[in-house]
Amino acid sequence: IYYVACPLRYTKVVQYLKKNVDFSKVISLRAVSSSYLPDWRPGIDYRDTYSACKALGGGVSIDLIHEWDYITYLIGCFPIKVYSFIKKLSNLELDSDDIAVYIGEYEDKLVELHLDYFTKKSKRFIEIQTDSEKVIADLIEGTVKKENEETEIFLKEERDEYQLLEIKNFFDIIEGRALNENDFEHFLCNGYVETITESGLVQVVILGEKSEQHLNYISEHLSTIIIKPTVSIDSPLIKD
């Protein structure tokens, strides 16, 4: 069994949104995950971690792939197209990317995603807009509220709580009580989106640079498609 760990989808906030928001009526979604890499691992020099080294799989576009996971989990599918800007802009001592900005296009909605390593006061939130209301969810504070209402729902939890839920789900998959929604093929598709060309051909738009192993796997399992690169970013490997 191949299973890719993406624990944010098991948080109370994301589960509340999944159960209480009709995403077929959402017209725009904006998510932000901003934090300060030197504060990630107390007592460890950030310059010595994989996050600071592109060759080791570092970079905010890889480290924070969790955002794309919970976004596609909530909406229920991958975007048709994704436009991305991936750069190293801050004065942090690293050679990996420290900012990634994406625009994801769906038929009926747009997704904006901002990720960075250099914001000293951490932020991790999602704003969901329909024609009639705006829902704001804060994954750090564990809150959900509607913009025009004073009522705020508190869903605070410890990190171990949602990670244990994911572990339980993994054993349910092993024992046949649950479907594997995050298998290896899904992991690869988290970096690829399908679109239909005018000629009727199905092509895959790569959301980032892939290793030879990734490309061989795609070619072997999805041999009827054309692989076409877009703006270059790193492979969406799960790091935590």
Q: Give me the mean pLDDT over the 66-71 stretch.
A: 92
Buried b / exposed e along 102-117 (16+ C-beta atoms within 10 A) = bebebeebebebbbbb
Can you spell out the DSSP letters for 176-237?
Answer: TSS--SS-HHHHHHTTEEEEE-TTS-EEEEESS---HHHHHHHHHH-TTSEEEE-S------
Specify the DSSP element, H or E, that contains 70: helix 66-75
Question: 16 or 209, which is more confident?
Answer: 16
The whole-angstrom separation of Cα 239 and Cα 174 is: 23
- Per the CB < 8 A criterion, the answer to whether 163 and 72 are in contact is no
Size of the chain in residues: 240
What is the reported pTM? 0.77
β strands within the chain, DSSP E: 26-36, 81-87, 99-105, 110-116, 118-130, 134-138, 143-146, 152-154, 192-196, 202-206, 226-229
The tens digit of pLDDT for each residue in 18-32 reads 999 999 999 999 999
Between 90-94, 159-163, 186-190, the lowest mean confidence (pLDDT) is in 186-190
pLDDT at 120 over 80: yes
pLDDT of 70: 94
The tens digit of pLDDT for each residue in 137-170 reads 999 999 999 988 888 999 999 989 998 998 898 8
Dig out the tokens for 185 from the structure: 């093929």
pLDDT of 6: 83
Question: 70 or 238, which is more confident?
Answer: 70
Q: Give me the mean pLDDT over the 224-231 stretch.
A: 34
pLDDT of 78: 84
- Per the CB < 8 A criterion, the answer to whether 52 and 37 are in contact is yes
The whole-angstrom separation of Cα 33 and Cα 124 is: 4
pLDDT at 4 over 70: yes
Q: What is the DSSP letter of 61?
A: H
Residue among 51, 121, 47, 111 nearest 80 (CA): 111
pLDDT of 126: 98
Dig out the tokens for 91 from the structure: 């004065």
Token pair 């480290």 is at which residue? 63
Q: Give me the mean pLDDT over the 5-26 stretch.
A: 94
pLDDT of 184: 62
The tens digit of pLDDT for each residue in 31-54 reads 999 999 999 999 999 999 999 998
